[in-house]
């Protein structure tokens, strides 16, 4: 099958129309999964407002949603569509009362949105100068500790060399000015966060396609200095030169991943767990939504994992939520994770159009006789 036909098949997969039943998913002992919201078509990146509103972007639906849990019972009673007709508005970020939206070639903003959920304002353009290619053009955006908005510019291809114009992460001021390249050699990151102790940015990156089932691995990376290069399209997973673009290159010249997540797992949404209610091994861990493979003879990913780290090195990975595919059939596809103030974790599922809530309550010790 030709490459473009494979891509068409991957993106033509019809989503299901209902949230997975909690009992269909598996979690470690003590953890509980509940449905936080349904009827959130193609839910992708999540963001939390100052007044407790959970916002969700989408890719194929072209919409942005507001999810409100007014009574605090861990389930959103109402889902509102607050923007529509946008071009792959997957990425969203909340700051100072405003919701920023990454929509391929532009960043938009909804001003004072939490006070206007029933009558949302028209999106204002922050910048419309980003590249317009839709191949890896959808975004994950976030404000850093420096107050700047971080925006990826993905490679407009599976594998190609466009120099420093693509395959990178940039930042800008909140008004869209003062663009700055932060890192290069990043095929397509749609998940990143800042490690709380070091304030360094960590990100997921998807490996290239068409090198077979086992190559290359998706990556969890860490930026230690501005201008760092992570290898694409010359070197993959820190140790494998590209058969087309790696000639004359050395993997030693590029920053290797902190952790190899596995081939084609579709590692996208990523946040550090900053809550205090999960067990110790999860605190400070990088929680990653593995969206799942589309081009592998046996599916990989389709789960949420936690990679232990202290900010300097990584430790053991843990599978937090599993079961989004069964018997090689996708039932759901996790897209992002979000730590809530009460320590619970939200997980968006763009295949089921739903958001789940993961919490932890250790079972009481059995009383002695």
Residue 116, Ramachandran bin (φ over 0: left; ψ between -120 and 50: alpha; else beta): alpha
Q: Which helix (H) or strand (E) holds 333?
A: none
pLDDT, position 361: 87
* CA distance linking residue 11 with residue 326, whole number of Å: 20
What six digits make up the tokens of 122?
């028209």
pLDDT in tens, 66-86: 999 999 999 999 999 999 999
pLDDT, position 4: 36
CATH 1.20.200.10, applies to 26-360: no
Where along the chain do its domains lie?
A: 26-360
- Concatenating the DSSP letter of every residue in 217-280 gives EEEEEE--STTEE--TTTEETTTEE-TTT-TT--GGGSPPPSEEEEET--EEEEEE---SSS-G
Q: Are 344 and 338 in contact (CB under 8 A)?
A: no
Q: Using 70 as the pLDDT threshold, list the residues of the chain that sit under it.
A: 1-17, 363-369
pLDDT, position 8: 35
pLDDT, position 7: 39
pLDDT, position 369: 39
Q: Cis link prior to 118 (omega < 30° from 0)?
A: no
Q: Are 128 and 108 in contact (CB under 8 A)?
A: no
* CA distance linking residue 220 with residue 202, whole number of Å: 7
- Order of strands, edge to edge, in the sheet holding 78-83? 43-48, 54-58, 64-68, 78-83
């Amino acid at each position: 099958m030709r490459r473009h036909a494979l891509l068409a098949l991957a993106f033509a997969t019809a989503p299901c129309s209902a949230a997975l039943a909690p009992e269909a998913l598996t979690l470690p002992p003590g953890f509980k999964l509940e449905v936080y919201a349904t009827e959130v078509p193609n839910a992708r990146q999540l963001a939390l407002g100052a007044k407790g509103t959970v916002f969700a972007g989408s890719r194929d639906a072209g919409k942005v949603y507001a999810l409100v849990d007014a009574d605090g019972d861990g389930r959103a009673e109402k889902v509102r569509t607050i923007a529509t007709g946008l071009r792959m508005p997957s990425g969203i970020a909340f700051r100072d009362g405003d919701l920023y939206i990454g929509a391929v070639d532009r960043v938009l903003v909804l001003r004072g949105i939490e006070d206007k959920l029933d009558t949302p304002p028209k999106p204002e353009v922050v910048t419309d100068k980003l590249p317009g290619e839709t191949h890896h053009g959808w975004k994950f955006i976030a404000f850093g500790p420096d107050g700047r908005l971080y925006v990826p510019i993905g490679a407009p291809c599976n594998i190609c060399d466009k120099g420093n114009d693509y395959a990178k992460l940039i930042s800008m001021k909140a008004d869209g000015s003062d663009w700055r390249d932060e890192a290069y050699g990043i095929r397509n990151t749609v998940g990143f966060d800042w490690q709380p102790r070091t304030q360094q940015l960590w990100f997921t990156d998807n490996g290239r396609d068409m090198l077979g089932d086992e190559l290359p691995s998706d990556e969890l990376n860490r930026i230690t200095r501005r201008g760092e290069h992570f290898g694409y399209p010359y070197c993959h997973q820190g140790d494998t030169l590209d058969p087309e673009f790696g000639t004359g290159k050395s993997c030693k010249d590029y920053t290797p991943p902190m952790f190899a997540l596995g081939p084609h797992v579709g590692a996208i949404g990523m946040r550090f767990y900053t809550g205090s209610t999960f067990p110790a091994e999860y605190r400070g861990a990088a929680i990653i939504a593995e969206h799942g493979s589309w081009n592998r003879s046996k599916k990989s990913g389709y789960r949420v994992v936690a990679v232990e780290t202290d900010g300097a090195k990584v430790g053991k990975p843990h599978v937090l939520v599993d079961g989004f595919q069964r018997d090689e059939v996708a039932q759901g596809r996790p897209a992002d994770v979000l730590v809530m103030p009460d320590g619970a974790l939200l997980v968006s599922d763009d295949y089921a159009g739903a958001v789940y809530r993961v919490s932890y309550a250790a079972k009481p010790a059995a009383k002695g006789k």
